[in-house]
Amino acid sequence: IGFSSLSPETAAAFEELTEAVIRDYVRYWYTPILPNDEKFPGSCRQLLTRTLLNMHGHISSKRPTDTFLLFLVSTSNIFIVFFRELAQTAQTSIGTYIEECPSSALAQLVDRESQRRKLRMAAEDILQTFLPAEAVDCTPMRTFLTEVLAGAVLERTVEKCSSADFINGWIIYLLEAETQPDILQKIDIGAVEGSDEGAAAAEQLAKRKRLSRAEEEMEKAMKEAQELSMMIAEDEARAVRDPVD
């Protein structure tokens, strides 16, 4: 069983993922126990390959618009409940409201144990849908894979995507991408006309790739501080040179 039936890019990505999972999460602990055995790692590889193929077949059979609408409907319900509960905290802080109303929907949304239960339910649904039947029928394997998928994959993914550094990084990336088309246009115009504007724009684009928005603002502030220092020094020198009687 392999990924030869898929497109080259997808097959390469799945193959790389499979190799990483088997290397880091199977051979890492199994090889020191039985270094000469290849049956167990091979069976794990086949199981993972079949699961990924099932997921690919299911996702590719859906239209992107259907997937987006399903995601939109699911998340909109959560946001409606969240903002409705958030309106109840207008007269107090969120922490106080959660302490006073531990059974409220907002308290359930921010409760870590409740989040873990929902992630575990999502992991069970994923495994029930895509995992081969013989693996689903094996209770120890199903339990193990559920906990790994819920805790090591889904929970860490949510934590990563909700971290401030991750969100700010994407904001900076999108802002930088938004300002680049005009520079690219200048490069094209300069290349056609043979002027120095294209070279200057190309240099500016390369610099923007190296610097983030925060670094650009810091550089701008440093230049302004240097200019201000030069102006003060010139005023002092002028005062010494032309003293007021």
> Helix, strand, coil shares of the chain as percentages rounded to 5?
80, 0, 20
Tokens representing residue 212 in the block = 């983030």
pLDDT for res 123? 92
The token pair that represents 164 in the structure block: 């401030």
49-81 pLDDT, tens digit each: 999 999 899 888 888 888 888 888 888 878 887
Contact 212, 169 (CB under 8 A): no
Tell me the pTM: 0.61
The pair phi, psi for residue 162, each rounded to 5°, is -100, 0
pLDDT for 134-167, tens place per residue? 888 889 888 988 988 888 888 888 888 888 888 8
> What residues of the chain score a pLDDT lower than 70?
1, 177-222, 224-225, 228-229, 232, 235-236, 239-245
Q: Where are the domains of the chain?
A: 8-164, 167-241
Q: Pick the closest to residue 112 from 158, 144, 47 (CA basis).
A: 158
Report phi then psi at 37, rounded to 5.
-90, 130
pLDDT of residue 192: 45
